[in-house]
Amino acid sequence: MLKLSRLPQEERADVFVAAAKEKGMHPAIVEKDFWVCWTLDYLFGESGFRDFFAFKGGTSLSKGFGLIERFSEDIDLIFDWRLLGYGIDEPWEKRSNTKQDEFVGKINGDAARFLEDELMPEMQAHLDSQHIVGCSLAIDAGDPQTLRFFYPQSFSDNSILQEIRLETGALAAWTPTTGVRISPYVVEQFPEVFESKAVSVRTVSPERTFWEKATILHKEAFRTNGRFPTRYSRHYYDLFKLAQSNVKQRALNDTGLLKSVVNFKMTFWRSNAARYDLCAPGTLRLMPPEEAIDLIEQDYAAMKNMIFGDTPDFKTMMSGIRNLEDEVNFSNI
């Protein structure tokens, strides 16, 4: 990817426009997709810390497994907590709720310091050494575990953030994982500008992501404050698409993985309001509160430029989510 990243911005823009025309996408999406893949190439191919990283979330479903047709613009990166100096079982040691909250705060603080003091300077040095201009890095003011990568932009689209958010943390499970190869959209049209066509990335399995998404929707089902988070309709879309794939049956056959996901959240992300104690076959909730439906539909409509291919309408999507909820709760799984 180095060859394209070093081209003058005007020439790079021409490549993105041509690729976007072939893909039927906005050039801003093709451009950002390239820089997302460039970032993954750095993290998993060049960084000295690459053996301690795992990739998760919607971008992994889209770019890594081809399971969703949604442009996923950010990168969710898990740090192995051993990178921060913790023993492999240390976070699981029994503690009182107060002591556990203190421990969670400490490990999150250590992750934030690693991001700012180690990873960000290393990434900046890599950009400088490769003579890639027009980029800058900054820690997010509201979230010290998020690194903002401002890539050189030739296009804009209000439906996407004009930056890449590298959302990191050590308190996320990364087993099981598998290796995948990820390529930018532009490589399909212009392979000659790439020395290598894909990057190998250690990625959380889609079966775990299936249950991670299900627990997110379960938590939302018990939301009472009416503050539906922006862009959260993506989780309903992602789970709907996963339920249309062969991942669903593999996930349903592994309810032990659901228990693992729930146990992790109850240990490190305690929330009485989320009712994780009910997040199990027979009592799982995926449908949102009735009063949230209109907000989710509006949020989904605002994301329409982010979804390509066969886009389900909102009613079809929510019907699929309801059917999945029934299948989990009333089937013998």
d(CA 314, CA 296): 9
Residue 167 has pLDDT above 90, yes or no: yes
Q: Whose CA is closest to 185, among 41, 63, 70?
A: 63
pTM score of the predicted model: 0.92
Alpha-carbon distances of 88 from 57, 96, 235, 270, rounded to whole Å: 23, 20, 30, 21
Asked if pLDDT for residue 306 goes beyond 90, the answer is no
Number of structural domains in the chain: 2
Residue 270 has pLDDT above 80, yes or no: yes
Residue 268: which of 83, 118, 78 has the closest Cα? 78
The answer to whether the CB of 289 falls within 8 A of the CB of 318 is no
* pLDDT above 70: percentage of residues in the chain: 99
- Tokens 């996408």 — which residue? 25
Could you tell me if 135 and 263 lie in one domain? no
Give the domain range for residue 53.
2-204
Q: Is the pLDDT of residue 218 over 90?
A: yes
What's residue 174's pLDDT?
A: 83
Same domain, 189 and 233: no
Check residues 285 and 230 and name the one with the higher pLDDT.
Answer: 285
Last residue of a domain, one of 174, 204, 234: 204
Cβ neighbours of residue 104 closer than 8 Å, sequence gap 6 or more: 171, 268, 269
pLDDT at 279 over 90: yes
Residue 130 has pLDDT above 80, yes or no: yes
Query: 255-268 and 206-221 are packed helices; what angle lies between their axes, rounded to 10 degrees?
Result: 60
Instruction: Identify the residue with better confidence: 214 or 187.
Output: 214
220 and 236 Cβ atoms separated by less than 8 Å: no
Q: What is the pLDDT of residues 106-122, one digit of tens each?
A: 999 999 999 999 999 99
> What is the arithmetic mean of pLDDT over 89-103?
97
- Of the pLDDT bands very low, low, confident and very high (cuts 50, 70, 90), residue 160 is confident
Q: Look at residue 231 and tell me whether its pLDDT is greater than 90.
A: no
Query: Does residue 297 share a domain with residue 152?
Result: no
Phi, psi of 54 (to 5 degrees): -140, 150
CB atoms within 10 A of CB 156: 11
Q: Which of 145, 177, 204 is where one domain is finished?
A: 204
Instruction: Note whether 27 and 61 are same-domain residues.
Output: yes
Shared domain for 131 and 237, answered yes or no, is no
Confidence check: pLDDT of 72 > 90: no
Which residues fall within 8 angstroms of residue 117, CB to CB, at 6 or more apart?
A: none
- What local confidence, expressed as pLDDT, does residue 71 receive? 85
Give the C-alpha separation, 161 to 151, whole Å.
Answer: 11
Residue 228 φ/ψ, nearest 5 degrees = -70, 125
Residue 212 and residue 198 share a domain = no
Model confidence band, residue 220 (pLDDT cutoffs 50, 70, 90): very high
pLDDT confidence band for 123 (50 / 70 / 90): very high
User: Is 232 found in the same domain as 194?
Assistant: no
- Nearest partner of 305 among 1, 9, 4, 30, judged by Cα: 30
Claim to verify: residue 180 and residue 225 sit in the same structural domain: no
How sure is the predictor about 3, in pLDDT bands with cuts at 50, 70 and 90?
confident
The residue-averaged pLDDT of 214-227 equals 94
Q: What is the pLDDT of residue 226?
A: 81
Residue found by looking up tokens 């907590």 in the block:
81
Would you say 80 and 174 are in contact if contact means Cβ atoms under 8 Å apart?
Answer: yes
Residue the block writes with tokens 């992300």: 269
Q: Is the domain of 185 the same as that of 286?
A: no
**Given this model, what pLDDT does residue 125 score?**
98
The least confident of 30-39, 149-158, 210-219 is: 149-158
Average pLDDT, the chain: 94
CB contact at 8 A, 163 and 8: no
Q: Tell me, what's the pLDDT at 172? A: 93
Q: In what order do the strands lie in the sheet with 136-140?
A: 136-140, 143-150, 164-169, 75-79, 53-56, 199-204, 177-182
The answer to whether residues 226 and 138 belong to one domain is no
Residue 196 has pLDDT above 90, yes or no: no
Alpha-carbon distance 113 to 143, whole Å? 12
Mean pLDDT of 78-105: 97
- Residue 25 has a pLDDT of 87
Please state, in angstroms and as integers, the Cα–Cα distance from residue 40 to each residue in 17, 56, 190, 261, following that order: 22, 12, 19, 25
116 with 255, same domain: the answer is: no
Number of neighbouring beta carbons within 10 Å of residue 76: 20
Last residue of a domain, one of 178, 204, 230: 204
Torsions phi, psi of 163, nearest 5? -165, 165
Mean pLDDT for the stretch of residues 154-158: 84
Residue 333 has pLDDT above 80, yes or no: no
